[in-house]
Structures are given as C-alpha cells and as structure tokens.
Chain A
C-alpha cells in the first residue's frame, strides 16, 4: 500500500509545484514507484514542470467522473519508468472535486504506487481541503519571508483540524521545506534563518533548498533541476527525497564561503 504525501504551502508562488516535481523524480530515482497528482484544479501547471504537457489526453477529473480509467489518464515520465503523472483538469468549476471520489481515486492509486504526491492548490479553500483530507504525510513549503511563514502556520493548523487522519485521532506527519534561501542575506541578517522559521512553525525540518537561478532555466525546459548533477538546489532535492524515504542524510552546507559546487562549476 502506498502512502499519500501532500505538498502544500498556503501562500502561492513559493515553489510548491517545483518542489513536488523534483521530489517525484528524486524518489522515483530511489527506486520507488511514484505518481505525481496535480490537484490544482483549473490551474494546471505540474505538467509543464515535468515536461509532459504534450502527452495529456485525460485528466484527474475524467478519472473521478468515470470518463476514462486510471491507466488511460496516467502519463509515464520521459526518463523514469518509475514515475507517473496525473494532470489536473482545466475546468473552472471549483466544486467539481468531491471528497468521496477523491478517496476512491487515492485508494486505487495506493494499490499501484509506493508514493502518491499531491500538489495542493494555494489557499485554504475547497481544493486545498481535498488535497489534505486523505494525506498520510504533509510537506509544508515556505520561503523565509513573513507572508509565507505566516500562511504556512495557518495551513498547518488546518491540516490538524481537517484531515481524516487527524479526525480519527491520528496525526498527519508534517515536515517543513524551506525554499529559496539566500545564504548571503541570512548571514547579513536580512533573511530569516532556518532556526527562526522552524522555531516559529514548531515543526521538524526535512530540507533547505537554496535559491538557484538554474531553476528558472530548468523550468523553461521542463526538466526538473534534480536531474542537473551540478546544481546545488538539485542536490538539495536529492537529499530531501532520501530523507522522505527514511534515510539519514547530511544537510547541504549553505554557508557563504565558496562551496564545492561553486568552485567546481560556478
């Protein structure tokens, strides 16, 4: 039986889908059978981050409505046979998701996959609630700025209140990923540091991803940065993938002195 991991943030634009795409590739590379599900109904985006936008025929709503079966809608990744993708629909009807149907879909995905990654929409409305309702674990993405941390805190509270696991008296395992950290700014005292963010959110850390210009070009190309062996953020994602799967991995050295990667390739 697979586990459902919801990637969420509250605030939009903090790198939720980018993170999800990279971790999906990372865990598939670790040998897990992974499906990345875009739950941002109406605002499909994960397809482009994974470079799979031209292969979409059916979407997640079609599966839930019974217009096609699951295997017809699942798209295999170009590079990894372990990785599959289930696209969001482009319908603007926000109320199209239905909790019971979401449950049925996730249960059938659990039979086929080890890891089901759900890309939650920004905000705390219906779509977000569906994305966290059946989560076994949650990864909360925050950038080190006040709005993002504040919204992340809000979202954590809602996960605790609204998920089925929490309702049953169990706890959704929650971890924080701090994204787009700029070590120079942190060192200068102009950006919240990792301890600050963790202290405020009172959750364990599972990864810190440095701000990285290469992410922009990798997004342009539809090639998750994790496949770039020379990118520091790619390395961060590789390590997070391993940590999610239970491996203990050292944290990246993000101190300002020129690191190995910069000396070699910078």
Chain B
C-alpha cells in the first residue's frame, strides 16, 4: 500500500487516516486521564513550594518518549 502511495501519489486509505487520528487523540487523552492523582499531587506540591517562594501555579504535563514516561513540572512564580 505504501509503495503505491509513493509511486502514484495516491491519497492514504481511510484506515490510515483513522489510525493517525486515533493516535493523536489518544496521546492527548492519555496525558490528561492517565494520572488520577494529578490534582492532589499538584495541590500538595503547591503547598511545599509556598514554604520557600511565592508560587502562582504548578503545571504538570506527562509525556511519553519512546519507552520512558516523563512528568514535566513547570513552576510559575508570582
């Protein structure tokens, strides 16, 4: 199929489109749904950070790079 696509510039099949759309939407959903403890953890982190400095917000995003799950934390100061 992919050879065809390359040779004749045929547009990708509907299954290909479905797969790509699914991958995108799930990557997004997993990041927001996979961590049920997120809100609680955020609140606790805020408390800890407040002890030392003035904090406005803590943003935590989860990412998946190949086989490593990463939590990235961004501390926004006041």
B76 interface residue (CB < 8 Å to A): no
Q: Which residue of chain A lies nearest to B14 when distances are taken between CB atoms in the complex?
A: A190
A96 proximal to B (CB < 8 A) = no
Residues of A within 8 A of B16 (CB): 189
List residues 1-54 of chain B with CB under 8 A from any CB of chain A.
1, 13-16, 18-19, 21-23, 25-26, 29-30, 33-34, 36
Is there contact, CB below 8 Å, between B33 and A186? no
Q: Is the CB of B26 within 8 A of A150?
A: yes
CB distance from B14 to the nearest CB of A (A): 5
Chain B residue contacts of A190, Cβ below 8 A: 13-15
Band of interface residues on A: 10 to 19
Interface of B is mostly: helix
Contacts of A188 on B, CB cut-off 8 Å? 13
Within 8 Å of chain B (Cβ to Cβ): is A192? yes
Shortest distance from the beta carbon of B72 to any chain A beta carbon, whole Å: 20
Chain B residues within an 8 Å CB radius of A154: 29, 33
Q: Which residue of the partner chain B has the closest CB to A201?
A: B26
* Cα–Cα distance between A191 and B18 once the two chains are bound (Å): 8
- Interface residues, chain A, CB within 8 Å of chain B? 145-146, 149-150, 153-154, 157, 161, 186, 188-193, 196, 199-200
27 pairs of residues in contact across A and B, judged by CB atoms under 8 Å? A146-B18, A146-B21, A146-B22, A149-B22, A150-B26, A150-B29, A153-B26, A153-B30, A154-B29, A157-B30, A157-B33, A161-B36, A188-B13, A189-B1, A189-B13, A189-B14, A189-B15, A189-B16, A190-B15, A191-B15, A192-B18, A192-B19, A193-B15, A196-B18, A196-B19, A199-B19, A200-B26
